């Protein structure tokens, strides 16, 4: 026997809000199938179970005449609505998902790679809605999407498209995840960093870099490793010691000038967390937990993840989701927070006369619109304040801030096999830069820097220099005159 009722009828029957009824249905608490006339079809046993739970007399009975009303007869000629299988569909169960999509297509209009291989975020939403999990998991669309979130900005219904993409990625067999991404995650789990750099090699390298910095411009400097009680724990991107070790010293120079008390851990020093890209929440949690352990072991008060936007986003996300108590124990800085703190507290002095070219800032998706949406704050103004403090001649890209275009390499795309799609996505960014007339592009993300510097400049013939925000700050520093005994390392 089937009980047929509208959401409003059920809400009034059980004395709850209609959204509660929808939640019950979506979560499987009340198994129901969509029927004609916006009614839900509920098996009598399920309806009775709910009535028992809430101490209510059922309005219908399998024994006609025994109690109350008889269920509405179901018209078998009316085509049945698609069964959502909410309990079985791993994508549909998320809040704010496909059940409220209007199919307006705004997301597709905003997505820079919509149309590539028929990719279209609206289609992805509809497929999730129709329970086409297998097709989505097998599809390469979620891996060609950079999870930039531009589609979400324009969605009038706040559908969480990026979250859905990550869920789909997370459902794929791990041996079918793009090799470089999965290898990075596994290597990080097994060896402590994405590239598997041995501990002795890493320590020897950063010590030597510290000696060179001391000889160059920071007398008395020595790389602080495992300094207990240092205020700030600083993570490292394995790409830096592997490919461009001197880039580490830009931050070190700033710390030296600011008189910062900081340290690097000799173990699990990687801040990059590619599990965010592969949708592997378990690995993501493990990698972040190691950072927390380092902070506790070294008794630090704050954390800086200087690598890139996704390292900050993944770590902050994991802290808020799995380790919220940690956020009471230490502060997590973005590169913007810390640099602005130094400037505002006059711990560093910048000389803008060193930079005369026209400069622009590229907002990374993770520090910008995704942080705004997830954590309530996007780092837009801070980035411009710092860039302008170094470069008086400044121009914004159009559009920028929350509406900014992704560089094309987000979501692990830099390491994925879909190079042509990555470059195609980046055409929007290249056009923005070219139109702005800027001669220098500043960014706060390693991923964005690599895509701009290595790929887009060449592919789109861009005549610009690309640099990190902290590189710009380090090169604009007025270095204090310190003597050896004054240097504060930890
Ligand atoms: S913009 Fe939002 S509501 Fe419109 S089709 Fe895309 S997901 Fe659906
Ligand atoms: S997140 Fe970015 S790439 Fe992915 S569907 Fe949305 S706009 Fe397109």
The more confident residue out of 73 and 293 is: 293
**With contact defined as beta carbons under 8 Å apart, do 171 and 88 qualify?**
no
Q: Nearest C-alpha to atom 3 of ligand 2 is from which residue?
A: 145
Instruction: Using the mean position of ligand 2's atoms as its centre, give its distance from the Cα of residue 360 in Å.
Output: 24
Residue to mutate (ligand 2; options 116, 118, 143, 145; most atoms within 8 A of CB): 145
**With contact defined as beta carbons under 8 Å apart, do 130 and 207 qualify?**
no
State the chain's mean pLDDT as an integer: 89
Q: Model confidence over 401-418: pLDDT tens digits?
A: 999 999 999 998 988 889
Average pLDDT over residues 476-488: 68
Crossing angle of helices 248-258 and 199-216, in 10° steps, is 50
Task: Answer positive or negative: Cα dihedral of 45, 46, 51, 53.
Answer: positive
Residue to mutate (ligand 1; options 106, 109, 127; most atoms within 8 A of CB): 106
Instruction: Using the mean position of ligand 2's atoms as its centre, give its distance from the Cα of residue 11 in Å.
Output: 37
> What is the Cα 297 distance to its own chain's centre?
27
Q: Nearest C-alpha to atom 5 of ligand 2 is from which residue?
A: 121
Ligand 1 atom nearest 108 alpha carbon: 6
pLDDT score for 158: 84
pLDDT score for 77: 52
Average pLDDT over residues 346-363: 96
Average pLDDT over residues 375-393: 95
Please indicate whether residue 109, judged by its CB atom, sits closer than 6 Å to ligand 1: no
d(CA 256, CA 217): 10
d(CA 250, CA 307): 12
The more confident residue out of 455 and 45 is: 455
Q: Residue 94's closest CA among 142, 169, 163, 18?
A: 163
d(CA 205, CA 372): 37
Instruction: Using the mean position of ligand 1's atoms as its centre, give its distance from the Cα of residue 121 in Å.
Output: 8
Question: How much of the chain, in percent, has pLDDT values that exceed 90?
Answer: 71
Instruction: Using the mean position of ligand 1's atoms as its centre, give its distance from the Cα of residue 97 in Å.
Output: 10
Q: Model confidence over 162-174: pLDDT tens digits?
A: 999 999 999 999 9
User: In Å, how far are 229, 417, 446, 488 from 225, measured between CA atoms?
Assistant: 12, 36, 23, 13
Please indicate whether residue 155, judged by its CB atom, sits closer than 6 Å to ligand 1: yes
Residue with tokens 């470089």: 180
DSSP 109-131: HH-TTTTGGG--HHHHHHHHHTT
- Confidence label for 36 from pLDDT (cuts 50, 70 and 90): low
d(CA 194, CA 311): 12
Instruction: Using the mean position of ligand 2's atoms as its centre, give its distance from the Cα of residue 425 in Å.
Output: 10
pLDDT score for 84: 44
**With contact defined as beta carbons under 8 Å apart, do 79 and 22 qualify?**
no
Going by the DSSP 8-state scheme, the letter that residue 70 receives in this structure is P
Q: Model confidence over 44-93: pLDDT tens digits?
A: 888 888 888 877 888 877 764 444 344 444 444 544 444 444 445 566 54
Going by the DSSP 8-state scheme, the letter that residue 37 receives in this structure is G
**With contact defined as beta carbons under 8 Å apart, do 300 and 261 qualify?**
no
**Which ligand has the shortest distance to the CA of 99?**
1
**With contact defined as beta carbons under 8 Å apart, do 312 and 366 qualify?**
yes
What tokens does 474 get? 């380090």
pLDDT score for 421: 94
Other beta carbons within 10 angstroms of residue 472's beta carbon come to 24
d(CA 177, CA 168): 11
pLDDT(141) > 70: yes
Q: Model confidence over 216-247: pLDDT tens digits?
A: 999 999 999 999 999 999 999 999 999 999 99
d(CA 94, CA 38): 22
Instruction: Using the mean position of ligand 2's atoms as its centre, give its distance from the Cα of residue 141 in Å.
Output: 10
**E strand residue ranges, 336-418:** 359-362
Other beta carbons within 10 angstroms of residue 231's beta carbon come to 17
Residues in CB range of 36: below 8 A, 6 or more apart: 75, 78, 81
Instruction: Using the mean position of ligand 1's atoms as its centre, give its distance from the Cα of residue 315 in Å.
Output: 29
Q: Model confidence over 419-429: pLDDT tens digits?
A: 999 999 999 99
3-state secondary structure of 287: helix
Residue to mutate (ligand 2; options 142, 162, 168, 416; most atoms within 8 A of CB): 162
- Confidence label for 342 from pLDDT (cuts 50, 70 and 90): very high
- Residue ranges of alpha helices (H) inside 227-280 are 239-243, 248-258, 275-278
3-state secondary structure of 185: helix
pLDDT(297) > 90: yes
Domains, the chain, in order of start with CATH, read: 1-84 (1.10.10), 98-172 (no CATH), 191-342 (1.20.1050), 352-476 (3.40.50)
Instruction: Using the mean position of ligand 2's atoms as its centre, give its distance from the Cα of residue 407 in Å.
Output: 12
d(CA 426, CA 449): 12
Q: Measuring from each residue's beta carbon to the nearest atom of ligand 2, which residues come in under 6 Å? A: 110-111, 113, 121, 145-151, 161-162
């Amino acid at each position: 026997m089937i009980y047929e009722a509208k959401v409003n009828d059920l809400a009034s029957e059980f004395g709850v809000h209609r959204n509660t009824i929808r939640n019950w249905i979506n979560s499987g608490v009340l198994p129901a199938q969509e029927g004609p006339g916006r009614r839900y079809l509920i098996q009598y046993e399920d309806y009775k179970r709910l009535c028992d739970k809430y101490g209510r007399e059922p309005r219908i009975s399998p024994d006609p005449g025994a109690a109350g009303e008889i269920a509405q007869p179901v018209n078998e000629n009316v085509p049945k609505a698609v069964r959502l299988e909410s309990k079985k569909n791993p994508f549909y169960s998320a809040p704010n998902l496909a059940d409220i999509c209007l199919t307006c297509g705004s997301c597709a209009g905003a997505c820079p790679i919509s149309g590539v291989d028929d990719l279209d975020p609206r289609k992805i939403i509809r497929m999730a809605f129709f329970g086409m999990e297998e097709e989505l998991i097998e599809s390469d669309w979620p891996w060609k999407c950079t999870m930039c979130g531009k589609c979400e900005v324009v969605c009038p219904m706040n559908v969480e498209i990026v979250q859905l993409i990550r869920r789909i990625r997370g459902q794929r067999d791990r041996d079918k995840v793009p090799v470089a991404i999965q290898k990075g995650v596994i290597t990080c789990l097994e060896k402590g960093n994405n590239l598997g750099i041995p501990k002795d090699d890493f320590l020897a390298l950063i010590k030597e870099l510290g000696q060179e910095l001391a000889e160059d411009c920071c007398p008395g400097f020595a790389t602080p490793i495992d300094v207990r009680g240092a205020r700030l724990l600083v993570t490292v991107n394995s790409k830096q010691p592997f490919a461009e070790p001197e880039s580490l010293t830009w931050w070190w120079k700033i710390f030296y000038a600011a008189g910062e008390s900081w340290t690097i851990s000799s173990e699990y020093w990687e801040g990059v967390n590619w599990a965010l890209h592969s949708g592997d929440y378990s690995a993501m949690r493990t990698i972040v937990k190691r950072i927390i352990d380092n902070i506790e072991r070294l008794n630090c008060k704050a954390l800086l993840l200087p690598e890139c936007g996704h390292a900050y986003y993944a770590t902050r996300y994991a802290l808020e989701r799995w380790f919220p108590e940690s956020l009471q124990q230490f502060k997590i800085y973005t590169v913007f927070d810390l640099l602005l703190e130094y400037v505002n507290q006059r711990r560093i002095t910048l000389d803008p006369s060193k930079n005369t070219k026209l400069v622009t800032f590229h907002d990374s998706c993770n520090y910008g619109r995704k942080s705004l949406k997830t954590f309530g704050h996007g780092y837009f103004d801070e980035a411009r304040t710092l860039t302008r403090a170094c470069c008086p001649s400044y121009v914004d890209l159009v559009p920028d801030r929350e509406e900014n275009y992704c560089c094309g390499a987000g979501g692990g795309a830099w390491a994925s096999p879909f190079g042509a799609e990555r470059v195609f996505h980046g055409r929007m960014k290249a056009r923005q830069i070219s139109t702005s007339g800027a001669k220098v592009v500043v960014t706060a993300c390693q991923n964005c820097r690599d895509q701009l510097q290595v790929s887009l400049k060449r592919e789109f013939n861009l005549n610009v220099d690309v640099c990190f925000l902290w590189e710009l700050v380090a090169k604009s520093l007025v270095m204090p005159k310190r003597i050896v005994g004054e240097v504060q390392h930890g």
